[in-house]
């Protein structure tokens, strides 16, 4: 590469570096959202950035006291997972007042989740009371409960979106059992349509007319106006309600579970690791470390932008660990490459040849490390949830970016830097004679 | 003689640490710090919503806890809204904390018209979304990684990497048990990280052995000499990685409160066990599998 091209590329890179540093601290808007700094553009979970807490207190009109609070907590947890909550905590609390009568233990549940618009409706849905009951007749005059002899509904799922009368609607399927289907067909009979109401306790989940043509297999589809409502309805129809009645308190902002200023501390740790890696490279490899420093910088740059750009990524403490280990992987890859380059240079090869052969020799170990790490990350993604799954997601993305950085960026930056060095032999720090 | 001594030291020290660690694990279990099941909560609240009052409550509560001998490390706190601060304790604090005394300490700095209340709860159950099957995932990862290494390397190298990684995980768990570093909130990730880091470090070292083995005839080096040279060459890499990780861990330990400190300490232990295993065990195991050729 000619000197002029090198200078041009370096100038462009310099502008990108400046932009990155600027956006890290400056405020900017994307669409309707305002961000204070690049790091704030990431979506954080409640352990780092605080969340919302809901307290469920046992209603006074419960017929019986709770005997199995663990089972209630587990059920709520399973339902939250079904609604798409990756990270949550549920604490069952009992007052320890000396005056409390042993037979009248009062429990409350505190659910802490990441703050979202639908939190309250989701928490209300997962803690709803009662059993799923079906009714026929008409909307003005529903009959008594029908389909009581056996289980009538097999499953209910959120299906997706559809367009009806130029409006987007959200579909939930209700799959009936053989018994339920037969009862439904009897209900429809010769009228071709029938009224069906599905309720959970006092809440109506479905209320409308079903035609024989509207049944596909044994499945009926409901149209709802929002995705959250469709998912909640599917959950409630398929799992029913809790055996105890809870009152849901208002949502209150909670501080980060990991302590105040967690956001600042974790990012300071990431940047300290970055600086430490760069300094270590300069101490060991002298001039060649410029290539390493630029590689690490652009690794971090692209990595953070990917975490912002890829939808659905929520950063928790597991994600921060994923970022740290991905940075470490990139650092290790750079050391492997530079070590090979130095060895080739010590054999007497020219600088360009040393870089070429050294990078080639580093290919296999770097790819091996990346593939092995990727195997673990993929397994974690498939078989775990919560913080570990978030670690897997960010670490997995980091593996891809670090592999590209170690194999491509190092070569590219070497091509840019080399023409600008007057004494090419000085770029590689060789072993001093013993 | 010197080589034999070093080998014995590595094996002995690993055995001692693992033995003591497993003993500690069996007797005391892992240190769950603020274990939410069978733990206690103190909810301190005020009747008027005010951000300043929340800070006063925290400050005065901390003062009261110090007076009654409750160490700051023994609890964690979260603010709920602007009217409540919730403290979580590992042990029963209902004998140490007198509600009336606590409230009078808080009122020393608060306005007279504010009413405070405090209640102690016992945590009956705690459920979170964290997965429990990390061991299963690690076992599957081990098998898949072994299969991958079989394709890329010899079976001896694959076995060496696996054994080193397992030893690293054992060492990590043992060190955590011995040092009583609290394991919340990300112990599963720390164990996996130890596994991954050891895998990567060992893999690269074995690649070096493989390269030199290929050139063994021309270089006339024995297996022992290959192992010695390449292990020596890798020392700088190990030092660089350990230093940067330790610096990062130090930042978390110094700056962080509660869980972040524990995380930093866990990172230190992960780093120590992975690097020790890669430096000490990987060459030993590889040499064992490859036998002694023309010393």
pLDDT 10s digits, A211-233: 777 778 888 888 888 888 888 88
Mark yes or no for CB contact A383/B137 under 8 Å: yes
Cβ proximity of B143 and A115 under 8 Å: no
Cβ proximity of A257 and A46 under 8 Å: yes
pLDDT < 50 stretches in chain B: 293-295
Mark yes or no for CB contact A91/B136 under 8 Å: no
pLDDT at A353 over 80: yes
The pLDDT value recorded for residue A274 is 93
The partner residue sitting opposite A53, judged by closest CB among B80, B126, B255, is B80
Q: How many CB atoms lie within 10 A of CB B198?
A: 29
Q: Which residue, A267, A369, A116, is CA-closest to B205?
A: A369
Cβ proximity of A295 and A410 under 8 Å: yes
Which of B42, B150, B164, B204 should one mutate to test binding to chain A, selecting the residue with the greatest count of A CBs within 10 A?
A: B204
The partner residue sitting opposite B260, judged by closest CB among A85, A86, A262, is A262
pLDDT band at A190 (very low <50, low <70, confident <90, very high): low
The partner residue sitting opposite B124, judged by closest CB among A93, A284, A375, is A93
- Residue A338 with chain B: CB contacts under 8 Å: none
Q: Does A73 touch chain B (CB under 8 A)?
A: yes
The partner residue sitting opposite A376, judged by closest CB among B121, B124, B196, is B196
The pLDDT value recorded for residue A102 is 47
Residues of chain A with pLDDT > 70: what percent?
94
pLDDT at A242 over 60: yes
Is the ipTM higher than 0.90? The answer is no
The partner residue sitting opposite B244, judged by closest CB among A94, A107, A273, is A273
pLDDT at A98 over 50: no
Least confident of A21-35, A45-59, A104-118, A361-375: A21-35
The pLDDT value recorded for residue B40 is 85
Say what the pTM is: 0.86
The pLDDT value recorded for residue B198 is 87
Mean pLDDT, rounded, of chain A: 85
Mean pLDDT, rounded, of chain B: 82
The pLDDT value recorded for residue A53 is 92
pLDDT band at A101 (very low <50, low <70, confident <90, very high): very low
CA atoms of A384 and B84, how far apart (whole Å) = 33
Least confident of A26-30, A112-116, A426-430: A426-430
The dihedrals phi and psi of A26, each to the nearest 5 degrees, come to -85, 160
pLDDT at A198 over 90: no
CA distance B17 to chain A (A): 26
The dihedrals phi and psi of B25, each to the nearest 5 degrees, come to -65, -45
CA atoms of A283 and A335, how far apart (whole Å) = 12
pLDDT digits 0-9 by tens, A259-280: 878 888 899 999 999 999 999 9
- Residue B136 with chain A: CB contacts under 8 Å: 383
Mark yes or no for CB contact A317/B251 under 8 Å: no
Provide mean pLDDT across the span A328-345.
90
- Residue A254 with chain B: CB contacts under 8 Å: 78-81
Tokens representing A293 are 């420093």
The pLDDT value recorded for residue B294 is 41
pLDDT at A100 over 50: no
DSSP-based three-state secondary structure for A30: strand
The pLDDT value recorded for residue A228 is 86
pLDDT at A77 over 50: yes
Mark yes or no for CB contact A369/B200 under 8 Å: yes
Mark yes or no for CB contact A254/B144 under 8 Å: no
The dihedrals phi and psi of A151, each to the nearest 5 degrees, come to -70, 125
The pLDDT value recorded for residue A105 is 61
CA distance B206 to chain A (A): 9
Q: Measured between alpha carbons, how far is residue B242 from residues A305, B57, B81 in Å?
A: 28, 41, 41
């Amino acid at each position: 590469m000619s000197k002029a091209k090198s200078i041009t590329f370096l100038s462009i890179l310099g502008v990108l570096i400046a932009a990155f540093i600027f956006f890290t601290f400056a405020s900017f808007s994307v669409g309707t959202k305002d961000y204070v700094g690049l790091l704030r553009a990431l979506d954080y979970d409640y352990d780092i950035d605080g969340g919302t807490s809901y307290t469920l207190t046992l209603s006074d009109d419960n017929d019986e006291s709770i005997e199995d609070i663990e089972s209630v907590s587990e059920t709520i947890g399973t339902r939250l997972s079904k609604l798409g909550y990756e990270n949550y905590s549920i604490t069952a609390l009992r007052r320890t007042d000396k005056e409390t009568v042993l037979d009248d233990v009062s429990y409350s549940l505190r659910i802490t989740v990441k703050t979202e618009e639908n939190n309250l409706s989701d928490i209300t849905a997962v803690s709803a009371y009662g059993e799923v009951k079906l009714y026929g007749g008409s909307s003005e005059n529903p009959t008594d409960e029908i389909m009581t002899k056996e289980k009538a509904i097999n499953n209910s799922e959120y299906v997706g979106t559809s367009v009806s009368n130029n409006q987007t609607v959200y579909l939930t399927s209700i799959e009936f059992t053989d018994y339920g289907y037969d009862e439904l067909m009897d209900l429809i009979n010769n009228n071709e349509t029938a009224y069906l109401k599905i309720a959970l306790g006092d809440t109506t989940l479905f209320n409308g007319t079903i035609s024989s043509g509207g049944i596909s297999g044994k499945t009926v589809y409901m149209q709802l106006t929002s995705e959250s409502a469709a998912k909640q309805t599917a959950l409630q129809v398929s799992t029913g309600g809790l055996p105890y009645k809870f009152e849901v308190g208002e949502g209150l902002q909670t501080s980060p579970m990991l302590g105040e200023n967690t956001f600042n501390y974790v990012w300071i740790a990431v940047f300290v690791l970055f600086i430490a890696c760069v300094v270590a490279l300069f101490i060991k490899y002298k001039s060649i470390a410029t290539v390493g420093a630029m590689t690490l910088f652009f690794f971090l740059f692209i990595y953070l932008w990917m975490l912002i750009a890829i939808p659905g990524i929520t950063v928790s403490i597991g994600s921060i660990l994923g970022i740290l280990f991905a940075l470490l992987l990139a650092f290790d890859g750079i050391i492997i490459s530079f070590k090979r380059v130095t060895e080739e240079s010590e054999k007497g090869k020219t600088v360009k040849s040393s870089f070429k052969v050294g990078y080639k020799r580093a290919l296999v170990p770097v790819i091996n490390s990346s593939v092995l790490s990727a195997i673990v990350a993929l397994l974690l993604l498939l078989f775990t949830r919560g913080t570990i799954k978030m670690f897997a997601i960010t670490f997995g993305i980091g593996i891809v970016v670090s592999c590209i950085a170690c194999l491509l960026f190092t070569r590219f930056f070497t091509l840019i830097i080399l023409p600008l060095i007057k004494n090419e032999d000085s770029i590689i720090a060789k072993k001093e004679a013993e | 003689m010197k080589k034999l001594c070093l080998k014995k030291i590595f094996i002995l020290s690993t055995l001692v640490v693992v033995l003591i660690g497993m003993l500690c694990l069996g007797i005391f279990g892992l240190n769950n710090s603020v274990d939410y099941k069978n733990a206690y909560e103190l909810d301190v609240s005020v009747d008027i919503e005010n951000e300043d009052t929340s800070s006063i409550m925290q400050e005065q509560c901390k003062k009261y806890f110090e007076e009654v001998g409750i160490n700051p490390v023994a609890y964690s706190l979260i603010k709920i809204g602007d009217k409540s601060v919730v403290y979580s304790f590992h042990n029963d604090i209902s004998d140490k904390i007198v509600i009336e005394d606590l409230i009078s300490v808080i009122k020393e700095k608060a306005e007279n018209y504010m009413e405070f209340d405090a209640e102690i709860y016992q945590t009956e159950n705690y459920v979170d979304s964290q997965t429990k099957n990390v061991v299963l995932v690690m076992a599957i990862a081990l098998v898949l990684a072994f299969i991958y290494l079989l394709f890329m390397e010899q079976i001896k190298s694959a076995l060496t990497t696996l054994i080193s990684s397992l030893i690293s995980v054992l060492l990590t768990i043992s060190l955590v048990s011995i040092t009583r570093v609290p394991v919340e909130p990300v112990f599963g990730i720390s164990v996996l990280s130890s596994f991954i880091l050891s895998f990567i470090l060992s893999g690269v070292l074995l690649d070096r052995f493989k390269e030199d083995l290929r050139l063994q005839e021309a270089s006339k080096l024995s297996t022992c000499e290959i192992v010695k040279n390449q292990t020596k060459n890798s020392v700088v890499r190990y030092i660089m990685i350990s230093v940067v990780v330790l610096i990062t861990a130090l930042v978390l330990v110094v700056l962080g409160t509660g869980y972040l400190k524990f995380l930093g300490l866990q990172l230190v232990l992960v780093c120590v066990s992975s690097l020790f295993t890669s430096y000490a065990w990987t060459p030993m195991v590889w040499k064992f599998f490859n036998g002694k050729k023309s010393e």
